Each structure stands twice: as C-alpha cells, then as structure tokens.
Amino acid sequence: MVFIDACFRQETPYTPIWLMRQAGRYLSEYQGVRQKTKNFLDLCANVVLATEVTLQPIEILDVDAAILFSDILLLPHAMGLPLEFVPSFGPKFLDTIKSLEDIKALKRGAYKDLGYVYEIVSNVRSKLDKSKALIGFSGAPWTLATYMLEGQGSKTYSRSKKILYAQPEVAHALLEALSIEIISYLDAQARAGANALMLFDSWAGALELEAYLEFGWDYIQKITKALKTKHPKVPLIVFPKGVGTYLAHLKGDFEVFGCGWDTPLEHAKEVLGDRYVLQGNLEPARLYSQEAMRNGIEHILEVMGKKAGLIFNLGHGMLPDLPRSNALELVRLVREISRR
C-alpha cells in the first residue's frame, strides 16, 4: 500500500493523497445514501450504508486511503452522554459533564458497545482493493472533552477552560477516562482490520502552550505509546489543529504529523525535520478556485520535494459546497506532479 509505505517514510512512486471529510455532502452519492436514514447517527450505525459511503471516495476520487465513515462523538455518546446531530447546527449533547460525580457515572468499557464500528471496519477492509489503506480514527481526549463539557461546538471554550484552570483534577479525571477508552477503541479498530490510526485533536489550538502540553498532548503521548506497543506495524497519525507555534514541543511515538492549513509546511519541515512524515495541508477553500488550488498544490509539492516525507491532504475537512470536479482534479494533479 502506497499510503502505508509513505507513513513509514519509504519511497513511493508518487505522493499518496486522501482528503479529510472525503465522504460527505459535497458528493451527491453521499447525499443519496444520507437520505435513506433519518439522522446522521443512524447512518454511522448502519453497517451496509456506512461501508458504502466509506468506499465512495475511493471509487469517485481514487484516493490512496479510505477513512472509516463515523464520527468522533460516538465514543462519548457510548460513555453515556445523549447525543443529537441537529440539522444545520451540528452536534449537541443533551447532558454535559459538570462534576467529578458526572465523570464517575460515565460508562467504562463503552468501546465494547461500538461493535458496529468494528464491523464496518472489517466489512470495508474486505471490499477495499489491496493497494488502498483503511484509516481508523478517534477524537483525541481534549477535543472530545470540550464537547462533553460544552455540550456543543464553542467559540470561547469557557466551560472547558474554567474546569481546566479552576478544577484541574476534574479535567484530568475526564481526560484519563477518555484516554483509556480511546486506546481500547483504536486497538479494536486495528484488530478489525484498520491499516492506520488517526487521532483528531481539532481544538488543540484553543489552549495556550503550557495548558495544551498538560491537558492535551500528554494524553496523546500516552495513547500513541500504548498503541505503538500493541501494533508496531500500524502507523499512527496525529492531527493537533492550530498548534503551529508549539511544534518544537510535540514529540511522541507516532509516524505521521498532520498539519492544519494554519501551519506553513516550510515551518513544520524546519522544526520537525525528519522526525515525522508530514500530512497536509492545502487550505480547503482553495478548492473554490482551480487556479488557487493549483498554486497551492505546486507550493506544497515544491516545499516537500519528491522524496518520501509527505502525505498529501487538505489542512482541514472538505466543505459541503466545494465543487467535486476540483476534488477530482486535485487528486489527479497531485499524482501527476509528484510522480517520481
């Protein structure tokens, strides 16, 4: 698999590419399947349909990796927080974590209740071409904790930060409980056939350096260390979004460092050197214009060169109104320009 070779910095015939949120509303085929279920959670739990949408971007875009179709919030949901996806608003937890008692009441071993996720993984793996990789994933503890504390997306993260600074022991209890679940959850995905595992820390950039190291990165280090021991041949990808200025501090047992569009790759390459393979980081909005997209692709490939060390991706997820024709062109161009 070109993608897995590239994760381990082996030379490949071209730079592999996949796109965050490559299965989603910008694809009419996704919308067609989405309409068959009343809500998004039903789609995530439907083995046949979730398998179908996981495979759509492989068939349509010919990307080098499929990513499990699911959501990072299924794990907190399984731990006992009722979750809804509200149309044109986003995810909403009907209960939030307010105290140590609430954390004690969370279900332990909740990953066992997500059997359908592992079924989707093994079903996808059995249908996927041998040359294509399947990526399993989880949210990182800090990002999951923000949703559990805020109840929904937030601009200020004031509830989460209040707990972090005023009751750090409560924050650590929640992050610890999440980390234990995440290790088992990702381990189960690898055992079901996931070829690589990714941790999304989408809201890493909401914290100052010291707080991020203590409440965010420290847990990522523990998780990757545990998984690396269990699955040395499964590459681990971390994606702490918005922490470009903290890079020198972000060390750990993983192969691939995902860069958001906010982190210039020149900078990541300089600071991280050859320590990690980089993944990223085309600003998704560049796909609104063919010219902006082409310039962005050329710049990234120029900075990273044709040697091993890059997995091409967007610097955050595909937006629902991006033209699919440009997503197709993106994959074609990256393959053509990066061919060795």
Q: Based on the residue annotation, tell me whether 147 is a catalytic residue of this protein.
A: yes
The residues with which 133 forms a beta bridge, in sequence order, are 65
Nearer of residues 80 and 317 to ligand CP3, judged by Cβ? 317
Exposed / middle / buried, residue 260 (Cβ in 10 Å: 0-12, 13-18, 19+): buried
Q: How far apart are CA 279 and CA 257, in angstroms?
A: 6
Instruction: Report whether 21 belongs to an annotated binding site.
Output: yes
Contact pattern for ligand CP3 over residues 295 through 334, marking x by CB under 6 A: ----------------------x-----------------
Sign of CA dihedral 160, 166, 168, 174: negative
Q: How far apart are CA 27 and CA 54, in angstroms?
A: 12
Coil, helix or strand at residue 270:
helix
Q: Based on the residue annotation, tell me whether 25 is a catalytic residue of this protein.
A: yes
Report the Cα 245 to chain-centroid distance in Å.
20
Q: Considering only residues 3, 26, 40, 217, which one is a binding residue for ligand CP3 as defined by CB under 6 A? A: 40
279 binds ligand CP3 (CB under 6 A): no
Measured distance between the N- and C-terminal CA atoms of the chain, rounded to whole angstroms: 17
Q: Are strands 90-93 and 83-86 parallel, antiparallel or unpaired?
A: antiparallel
Nearer of residues 204 and 304 to ligand CP3, judged by Cβ? 204
Q: Based on the residue annotation, tell me whether 339 is a catalytic residue of this protein.
A: no
Nearer of residues 40 and 276 to ligand CP3, judged by Cβ? 40
148 binds ligand CP3 (CB under 6 A): no
- E strands along 40-191, which residues? 65-67, 83-86, 90-93, 133-139
Instruction: Report whether 129 belongs to an annotated binding site.
Output: no
The residues with which 180 forms a beta bridge, in sequence order, are none
Q: Are strands 83-86 and 310-314 parallel, antiparallel or unpaired?
A: unpaired
Question: Residues, the chain, total?
Answer: 340
Q: How many residues bind ligand CP3 (CB under 6 A)?
A: 22
Nearer of residues 22 and 279 to ligand CP3, judged by Cβ? 22
List the interface residues with ligand CP3, window 71-110 (CB under 6 A).
71-73, 85, 90-91
Coil, helix or strand at residue 279:
strand
137 binds ligand CP3 (CB under 6 A): yes
Q: Considering only residues 5, 9, 14, 21, which one is a binding residue for ligand CP3 as defined by CB under 6 A? A: 21
Nearer of residues 65 and 308 to ligand CP3, judged by Cβ? 65
Residue closest to ligand CP3 (Cβ): 202
Catalytic residue numbers?
Answer: 21, 25, 34, 71, 147
Annotated binding site for substrate: 21-25, 71, 147, 202, 316
In the complex, which residues of this chain contact ligand CP3 (CB under 6 A)?
A: 20-25, 34, 40, 67, 69-73, 85, 90-91, 137, 153, 200, 202, 317
